[in-house]
Structure 1
Amino acid sequence: MIIIPAIDIKNKKCVRLVQGNPEFETVYSDDPIFQAQFWEREGAKRLHIVDLDGAFNGKPQNIDLIERIVQEVHIEIDVGGGIRDNRVIRALRSRGVHKVVIGTAVMDNRKFVRNLCKSDPEGVVIAIDASDGFVVKNGWKEITSTRAVDLLKEIEDFGVSEVIYTDISRDGTLEGPNYDAIETMLTVSDIPIIVSGGISSLEDLKRLKEYESMGLKGVIVGKALYEGKFTLPEALQYV
């Protein structure tokens, strides 16, 4: 199980939101590049970068900043936030981004995402963000009528290498993960899953590690690290 620190970028700063709401924003660093370097020094093997400006605007807004992060660290980086067409994907991949994270596009254009996964299975991650079990899209502003488990089953034959599953009701709350939902997602599909949302303690990581045999590949951790609930080296002891 890999531990992946999150870097959410908004207005060129490293921030965390609560349940994706921009009105509840905490700035943790004015320098996302320094923050990425810090996580690398702490032992991270991968970073999860979200262009929040891109998520809210429908297209990435921080490609140049992300490129600088890629240049300054030597670990794997995945990037999400407003990635909805081939031009943007090519721009990010050409700048050294290891994996692009596709969320809204999988709801709006299944054929496009299926073809994308077939052509670059290791370079594409599908994000399934859910509220009360239903998929949300467009920067978490729109709740759809599609259940997260149904979407996961539908994309099984896409050839995608991994899925990032986020329960947005827990994201940024430090209330602990939605274990029941995670277990359900792991049960209905063989696609490796990385989970996000609500991680608050080393005990959460310890419990999630028990799901490794069910296909849990990793955990994205944000606020718990920034708030000092535990350190990254401490978290890495659990993997």
Structure 2
Amino acid sequence: MPSQFRPCIDLHSGQVKQIVGGTLHDSDSSQLQTNFATTKPASEYARLYQEHKLVGGHVIMLGPGNEQAAIEALSAYPQGLQVGGGITVDNAPLWISRGASKVIVTSWLFPQAQFSRDRLQQISQAVGREKLVVDLSCRRRENGWIVAMNRWQTLTDMVISKQCLEELAEYCSEFLVHAADVEGLCRGIDKDLVAALAEWSPIPVTYAGGASSLDDLRLVNQLSHGKVDLTIGSALDIFGGKQVKFADCVAWNQ
């Protein structure tokens, strides 16, 4: 099966937005670069994805003030969307009960930016391995790709590697990987990262970051031999982009 297009709904301050990932800071909103913002509710996008039978998409809550919009999206497309952003062992079962197909966890796994296997085991037991996605969004450094947390601002102690992905895969059914350095820039994907994920990961992976054309979907398919799926955000026409038509992505999946 070829690589699939995976849809997304990114929420910031309760609105559907597309953001340049590297500009998302806790303390300084003036640095935030937004490619797209709309008054359309998140539920409208969820219904669009349901109408076209798109599965495996994700709703990401970027900071506070997004819970209600996420709940409405999940209600519009129950069992059709994953949810992430602020997920912990305490609230993960609640999000599953609200209609999320899976929960996506990142920062909670890294107290003081140090990976906690105990926490991974806890949340995997709380919702079940099949309902858990581990987000390994990362930044490129000299020694490879370092997992970043706290809205991609804080580097953790985890370097993405074959051994790392194999160990994590015991507790989750899927990985989501945003290449934070190219996220929202629409200048092309991190080809090396896509190839590495395909080679190293024993479970399905969705890559996000930098996709600027339908050719990027073909490229991900080629580089990964169909093992890695692609999320396209800012370049999509439904998010104000001019490079990629949503209809073409739907047609690709079919």
Question: Aligning the two structures, in what range does the TM-score lie when normalised by the shorter sequence?
Answer: 0.7 to 0.9
2:176 corresponds to which residue? 164
Cα shift at 1:6: 1.4
2:74 corresponds to which residue? 70
1:57 corresponds to which residue? none
2:37 corresponds to which residue? 28
1:91 corresponds to which residue? 94
TM-score with structure 1 setting the length: 0.87
Q: CA offsets, 1:131-154, max 9 Å, x none?
A: 011111111110124212254243
Work out the CA distance in 1 between the residues paired with 2:188 and 2:216: 7
In proportion to residue count, which structure has more strand? 1
Cα shift at 1:4: 1.5
Q: CA offsets, 1:62-108, max 9 Å, x none?
A: 3332222222235611111111x222112211111111001112333
CA contact (8 A) 2:165 2:202 kept: no
Segments of 5+ residues of structure 1 without an aligned counterpart are 55-60
Change in 2 beyond 3 A, CA 1:229/1:41: farther
How many residue pairs were aligned? 230
Corresponding letter in the other structure for 1:92? W
2:131 corresponds to which residue? 123
CA contact (8 A) 2:84 2:105 kept: yes
Cα shift at 1:40: 3.4
Change in 2 beyond 3 A, CA 1:118/1:88: closer
CA contact (8 A) 1:3 1:236 kept: yes
Work out the CA distance in 2 between the residues paired with 1:180 and 1:86: 33
Work out the CA distance in 2 between the residues paired with 1:125 and 1:32: 21
Change in 2 beyond 3 A, CA 1:151/1:105: farther
Cα shift at 1:192: 1.4
Corresponding letter in the other structure for 2:133? V
Query: Which residue of the other structure, out of 135, 138, 152, is the alignment partner of 2:165?
Result: 152
Corresponding letter in the other structure for 1:7? I
2:11 corresponds to which residue? 9
TM-score with structure 2 setting the length: 0.82
CA contact (8 A) 1:46 1:75 kept: no
Corresponding position: 1:114 with 2:106:
no
In angstroms, what is the RMSD of aligned CA positions?
2.1
Work out the CA distance in 1 between the residues paired with 2:223 and 2:10: 26
Corresponding position: 1:37 with 2:25:
no
Segments of 5+ residues of structure 2 without an aligned counterpart are 25-31
1:140 corresponds to which residue? 152
Work out the CA distance in 2 between the residues paired with 1:75 and 1:122: 13
